[in-house]
Structure 1
């Protein structure tokens, strides 16, 4: 390749998604689809081992890297999912996130993945968003809850629940490659949401549907709250020991 051609090639951007058992697939794959089209994007899907990981949708996702061979990422993203409860206090996972978070240009999450970032100490003093049902739990892990499909605070960028991952992906694409590229991707993927029903957020849902939704997610919300409280207790203990 000539020097001129090399100069025209986009700089590589290493983008990594944490993939864990019972991850909500769309939390990861929605923004990954967008971000994979960013010029220079190098996509990494990471877990403790490279064996296929079962998502919450009944299909598996194949990690490309484990914690040991994952390169330093420019973007680290943590998707949410009910399986997250089991790793909120997993030191191998939290340690990996802390290590990557030290030098990543962007530290990000979608849905309840924000709580895992908080458990790792990466949202202390930062504003963040997540799925509406878990939103107030952000305060349990040191973050400042802020409503929004996408919330940015310095180099932290967090998305709301599940489908907000597309908005997140496009917003981050604009940061990485410019607004013109993000607009091109939005059109290319025909992202023009026209939901068939009104009610995709508690502020718009009818009371009966909202009640059913809260009941459906109640066990998961309670389990996550306990895991978040334990994670914060562990962080406080570690800080006290370091003083």
Structure 2
């Protein structure tokens, strides 16, 4: 393991804040880890929650990552045609030990060509669209395919970060971090995914249809660029 162990996280406008901050809280407790937060410019970046996060570096100046981390949010789909950002992901991924994404961050990895032929997950509302980018969609909380780890929607980022901790530092360290963070979820309802018994099937189906209509075209354009390139 390098010293320090560098985690480079992509930040972008309209990121889902918990996609980013949930894993970041775990990363901050990893022994010897440095978190670098990268965007085009070092200025406050608005999240989906009404507050901003300040990057620590730019895409150009970011150090080589041991872990490349990409959160999601509606802003991810606004970046599928940002070639500077996609080139940044490709460059970082070439030398990274781990390539990771949470929620719809998987689509940025996919648009960069990093999920072709791999099993991957994302938020359930858009998961089926990953196939258009050459991935095999898997409806699981956290999915590992070799050195690529993806997580399902939003809150799954904490599960992912603990799984990554275990892969790097071992189970005992991950368990200690889970205890320190009191990550002991006890939701009031069993409605956290379409497959759960308290979930609203009609609402889930409507959201999947809406995401297909809203995001399908931009995903298809990203897929076409991959095929052409």
2:33 pairs, out of 33, 41, 49, with 41
Residue by residue over 1:82-134, the C-alpha shift from the partner in whole angstroms, topping out at 9 and shown as x without a partner, is: 11111011101110000001000000000011111000000111110111111
TM, length-normalised to structure 1: 0.90
- Counterpart position of 1:109: 101
Question: What is aligned with 2:45?
Answer: 53
The CA RMSD measured in Å over matched residues stands at: 1.5
What's the counterpart of residue 202 of structure 2? 211
1:146 to 132, 138, 142: 138
Q: Whose Rg is larger?
A: 1
1:130: which partner in 2?
122
Q: For the residues of structure 2 that align with 1:155 and 1:131, how far apart are their CA atoms?
A: 20
Is the 8 Å Cα contact of residues 82 and 220 (structure 1) preserved in structure 2? no
Q: Alpha carbons of 1:237 and 1:53: their partners in 2 closer, same or farther (altered >3 Å)?
A: same
Aligned length: 228
Distance in 1 (alpha carbons) for counterparts of 2:228 and 2:3: 41
Q: Identify the residue that residue 118 of structure 1 maps to in structure 2.
A: 110
Partner of 1:67: 59
Q: Structure 1, unaligned stretches of length 5 or more?
A: 1-9, 239-243
Question: Structure 2, unaligned stretches of length 5 or more?
Answer: none
SS in 2 for 1:195: coil
The answer for the alignment partner of 1:3 in structure 2 is none
Residues of 2 paired with 1:203 and 1:181: CA distance?
A: 31
- In the alignment, is residue 235 of structure 1 matched against residue 189 of structure 2? no
**Matching residue of 1:93:** 85
Instruction: State the match for 1:27 in structure 2.
Output: 19
For the pair 1:80 / 2:77, whether they are aligned, the reply is no
Decide which structure has greater helix share. Answer: 1
Name the SS of the counterpart of 1:87 in structure 2.
coil
TM-score if structure 2 supplies the norm length?
Answer: 0.95
- Which residue is 1:179 aligned to? 171
Distance 2:190 2:162 in 1: 23
1:222 counterpart (201, 213, 216): 213
**Runs (4+) off by over 4 Å:** 216-221
**Structure 2 CA distance for aligned equivalents of residues 77 and 17 of structure 1:** 5
What is the deviation of 1:36?
A: 1.4
Deviation by residue 1:164-212 (Cα, 9 ceiling, x = unmatched): 00100000011121111100000110111110111111011546x3323
